[in-house]
Amino acid sequence: MKNQIAEMIHSAIEAAYEGVQGIPSAEEILASIEIPPERAMGDYAYPCFKLAKVLRSAPPVIAKNVCEKIGSGDAKAVTAGGYLNFFLDRESFAKKTLGSVKSAGGAWGGSSVGSGKTICLDYSSINIAKRFSIGHLTTTVLGHSLSRIFRFLGYKTVSINHLGDWGTQFGKMLYAYKTWGSESEVAEKGVTELLRLYVKFHEEAEKNPSLDDEGRAWFKKIEEGDAEATRLFQWFKELTLRDTERVYKLLGVSFDSYAGESFYNDKMERVIDELSEKGLLTESEGAKIVDLEKYDMPPCLILKKDGATLYATRDIAAALYRKDTYDFDQCLYVVAYQQDLHFRQIFKVVELMGYEWAKNMKHVSFGMISYEGQTLSTRKGHIVFLEDLLKLAQEKALEVIEQKNPELPDKESVARQVGIGAVIYADLSNNRIKDIDFWWDRVLSFDGETGPYVQYTHARCCSLLQKAREAGIAPAEPDFKALCDDEAQEALRLLSRFPDVVKEAASRYEPSLITRAVTDICQAYNKYYYEHRILDGEPSEVAAKVLLTEMIRDTVKTGLYLIGIEAPEKM
């Protein structure tokens, strides 16, 4: 309908201002069509202010002239100052919207716009020898959702887990293990024991700072390929990946690559050589830097005084490797906003190296997460482990199910879907740049804007459709006049806009737009459900109402999938 309105406006402008050059195309008009702030003002609006210069007339006069040239059809045009407001024919709107959703075959909102294009997504980036904490929840579910959204739009996506598996902290870990640990304890308790040793090291180092030198010495052994250091380091890495795989399985997350920092050890020389050859590398107090002062940034440190590489060196090497390997059209880094300067620096360095594609590297930043009012710190041992959180979510969801629907079949499976869905929804329901404070009473509520509420609406649609089948309601040609009431029209309006939401979520790297849209659809449908008896009426009327329910169900399921949440059929 929006496309049709854009064509109507374009034809009317040409008819009203025949021969005038510079009239916008239908595609340009489509991009300017707005949603009025109040429903009484219309379903769509087109501002004529942009036409004033081309048509050399006042916007209200243009609106009036164009309106007079718009014929009758599926949308009625009226003027309001410099705006053209459109009111859709409700019956036609219902028929066309539901026809479009049905023809999409469960993929309403998907497209092939990204066909032939590749997007690399760097997210999760867990640290070796540490358990998966709630602090890595946002990067994991945000990156996973973006991957699904881009695939839904036809892109090829490459999900990369850039493991934190290099640095002095691993030397500290090895020293702690050799001093206070035992093979049997680590073998039995895995990463939990490694974390205890890591925390103990920092506690002891506060009393005896010379331990930091011991940590550096052990890391040097790793760098030099010492047999014992390498064996222990690889063992700790295997234990960590085994531990985190359980969490990824619960979240439904998988990766195409686990190439972490250590993967780029033999790829650093290219970076240093290129920077030197291109005259970008300068010395500062014994270190090697790229001076970024003219770009209002501190210098990008490439090599320390002792010749050691840094995060920036490795990220530049990773960018070159990813472009060579995947030939990406975009490379997204889903990392907290504290790293904003770091990414601005490396993007600028890659640009200065002469790589035009540097402009396609994007930092998708997000806020920090706290748990019931408390910030998290691994070093101080104040941390909430994600696996524990997800298990607790399932337990709490099961308690709610036992209270509300104790006869529900396969309760444990539904509790898993609801509990984990609640956690993901809570994380992705707000603008990604906002900090999140995680409180259970909000997260697992079946009322308001929560994951369980959206999942319950999907289950309600499934239940109603099941009742329709069990009642033996005969198939009939839908009478779309049955969907001309305000409640049905609001649900249809939100359904019709879902494809635009998916596109915008991709362009802004903002899954919360989909979360918001799906929640709005559920709220609109629930209002419709309470105001109307869906299975009562003439067969053709029931057919139309059942079709609306079916398309709501399919779209809600799609939206939940795009943000990484399952859609139970019974709750």
**Shared-domain flag, residues 408 and 548:** yes
Whether residue 383 has pLDDT greater than 60: yes
Element spanning 212, H or E? helix 211-223
Mention every residue, 6+ apart, whose C-beta is less than 8 A from residue 561: 148, 567
* Distance from C-alpha of 114 to C-alpha of 150, rounded to nearest angstrom: 8
**Shared-domain flag, residues 436 and 528:** yes
* Distance from C-alpha of 77 to C-alpha of 369, rounded to nearest angstrom: 48
* Distance from C-alpha of 100 to C-alpha of 113, rounded to nearest angstrom: 18
Check residues 128 and 344 and name the one with the higher pLDDT.
Answer: 344
pTM as predicted:
0.90
Whether residue 371 has pLDDT greater than 80: no
* Distance from C-alpha of 214 to C-alpha of 231, rounded to nearest angstrom: 18
In this predicted structure, what is the pLDDT of residue 2?
86
Nearest Cα to Cα of residue 2 among 56, 42, 39: 42
What is the average pLDDT value for the chain, to the nearest integer? 92
In this predicted structure, what is the pLDDT of residue 38?
87
Beta bridge partners, 34, equal 45
In this predicted structure, what is the pLDDT of residue 449?
85
Flag whether 75 is in a domain: yes
User: Of the candidates 241, 276, 307, which is a domain's last residue?
Assistant: 241
Task: Report the CATH number at residue 17.
Answer: 3.30.1360.70
Element spanning 318, H or E? helix 311-326
Flag whether 219 is in a domain: yes
Residues 6-16: tens digit of each pLDDT: 999 999 999 99
In this predicted structure, what is the pLDDT of residue 312?
94
State the total domains in the chain. Answer: 3
Flag whether 80 is in a domain: yes
**Shared-domain flag, residues 395 and 489:** yes
- 519: tokens are 């929640």
pLDDT band at 373 (very low <50, low <70, confident <90, very high): low
* Distance from C-alpha of 254 to C-alpha of 144, rounded to nearest angstrom: 8
% of the chain exceeding 90 in pLDDT: 76
In this predicted structure, what is the pLDDT of residue 155?
98
**Shared-domain flag, residues 558 and 426:** yes
Question: What average pLDDT does range 409-413 have in this prediction?
Answer: 94
Residue 467: domain span: 386-562
Whether residue 380 has pLDDT greater than 60: no
In this predicted structure, what is the pLDDT of residue 19?
87
In this predicted structure, what is the pLDDT of residue 379?
47
Residues 114-130: tens digit of each pLDDT: 999 999 999 999 988 88
* Distance from C-alpha of 324 to C-alpha of 234, rounded to nearest angstrom: 27
In this predicted structure, what is the pLDDT of residue 374?
58
Question: What average pLDDT does range 155-170 have in this prediction?
Answer: 93
Flag whether 352 is in a domain: no
User: Of the candidates 192, 223, 241, which is a domain's last residue?
Assistant: 241
Task: Report the CATH number at residue 464.
Answer: 1.10.730.10
User: Of the candidates 204, 224, 241, which is a domain's last residue?
Assistant: 241
**Shared-domain flag, residues 193 and 68:** no
**Shared-domain flag, residues 391 and 540:** yes
| b/e code 393-424 from CB counts within 10 Å (16+ = b) | bbebbbebbeeeeeebeebeebbbbbbbbbbb
**Shared-domain flag, residues 416 and 557:** yes
* Distance from C-alpha of 535 to C-alpha of 366, rounded to nearest angstrom: 45
Mention every residue, 6+ apart, whose C-beta is less than 8 A from residue 317: 264, 267, 268, 270, 271
8 Å CB contact between 104 and 497: no
In this predicted structure, what is the pLDDT of residue 231?
94
Question: Which position has the token pair 């999409």?
Answer: 104
For the chain, the residue count is 571
Flag whether 143 is in a domain: no
**Shared-domain flag, residues 84 and 216:** no
Residues 258-300: tens digit of each pLDDT: 998 989 988 999 999 999 999 999 999 899 999 999 999 999 9
Question: What average pLDDT does range 94-101 have in this prediction?
Answer: 96
**Shared-domain flag, residues 82 and 180:** no
pLDDT band at 424 (very low <50, low <70, confident <90, very high): very high
In this predicted structure, what is the pLDDT of residue 167?
84
Flag whether 304 is in a domain: no
Flag whether 445 is in a domain: yes
pLDDT band at 375 (very low <50, low <70, confident <90, very high): low
- Cα dist. 261→95, 323, 358, 548 in Å? 54, 17, 20, 50
In this predicted structure, what is the pLDDT of residue 444?
65
Flag whether 183 is in a domain: yes
Least confident of 15-19, 73-77, 118-122, 232-236: 73-77
**Shared-domain flag, residues 79 and 184:** no
Whether residue 472 has pLDDT greater than 50: yes
* Distance from C-alpha of 535 to C-alpha of 476, rounded to nearest angstrom: 13
In this predicted structure, what is the pLDDT of residue 71?
81
**Shared-domain flag, residues 75 and 208:** no
**Shared-domain flag, residues 539 and 408:** yes
Whether residue 494 has pLDDT greater than 80: yes
Element spanning 538, H or E? none
In this predicted structure, what is the pLDDT of residue 441?
67
* Distance from C-alpha of 335 to C-alpha of 337, rounded to nearest angstrom: 7
Is beta strand 44-47 parallel, antiparallel or unpaired with respect to 281-284? unpaired
Least confident of 119-128, 374-383, 537-546: 374-383
Least confident of 10-14, 306-310, 370-374: 370-374
